[in-house]
Amino acid sequence: MRFEKKVVVVTGGATGIGRAAAEIFAAEGASIVIAGRSEERGSKALTEIAASGGRALFVKTDISSEADVKELMRKTLDAFGSIDVLVNNASSFIFKSVDATVEEWREILGVNVIGTALCSRYAVEAMKTRGGGSIVNVSSISAHIAQPGLLTYNTTKAAISEMTRCLALDLAPYGIRVNSVSPGYILTEHQEGKIRSMGLTIGEAQVSWGGLHILKRMGTPKEAAAAIAFLASEEASFITGTDLFVDGGYLAL
């Protein structure tokens, strides 16, 4: 039980990679706090985690709001008394190039960059009192390559990767490790919806999108979540400032 008696906050934890991460942490003994915008999805995640014997709390949160983030951390401390791990997974998916409006830039920067920074700031306050902790940011292969029509998204993910390195340097004196994962194409609910909106089947997407990876398939949320759990665990105690590619070899091509 790698996370027995640990408290883990997962933003965007009701679906996709975040949900899979919450399930892994709960199965390994952690108390989980799921932050997200949808009460319906949050309640469903709590019910299923509880059915498996886990302890979890859902806090409706817009991470681009400082007041919401403060309340998230306050409720976490009230419920469980500490914060040991923060998974910055929540993300805005705005795929635009130079045609992006100011409002679209503010939305994606507010969630992906400012939201990640705010959650880190207020979680760190609690981690310092514990003498350490771990932050895992969810970046993307899109942080490392240029892709057509993805200026907004790729820019914010690149910022998260750089934020990871800077935070690792600044927080090392407090015993807080900071790492990130950069997934390739992961078959989440969001991705499935995108595939259907394009008129494709999952099988067709596995051929076209999955074929971009050396392993010739898309990854699963559980595979990305396993990497998050590893970086958050004591097994990774000498790892900080690192971006772990969970991309089926995509970036090796």
Catalytic positions, written as ranges: 153
The residue length of the chain stands at 253
Q: Using the CB atoms, write b or e for 218-232: b if 16+ within 10 Å.
A: bbebebbbbbbbbbb
DSSP secondary structure, 193-239, as one string? HHHHHTT--HHHHHHHTGGGSTTSS-B-HHHHHHHHHHHHSGGGTT-
Contact 36, 61 (CB under 8 A): yes
Q: Cβ contacts of residue 118 below 8 Å, gap of 6+?
A: 63, 64, 66, 69
For residue 109, the one-letter residue type is: L
- State the CB neighbour count (10 A cutoff) for residue 160: 22
Token pair for residue 66?
Answer: 């400082």
Task: Give the integer Cα–Cα distance in Å for 214 and 216.
Answer: 5
Token pair for residue 152?
Answer: 């907004």
Q: Cβ contacts of residue 93 below 8 Å, gap of 6+?
A: 153, 190
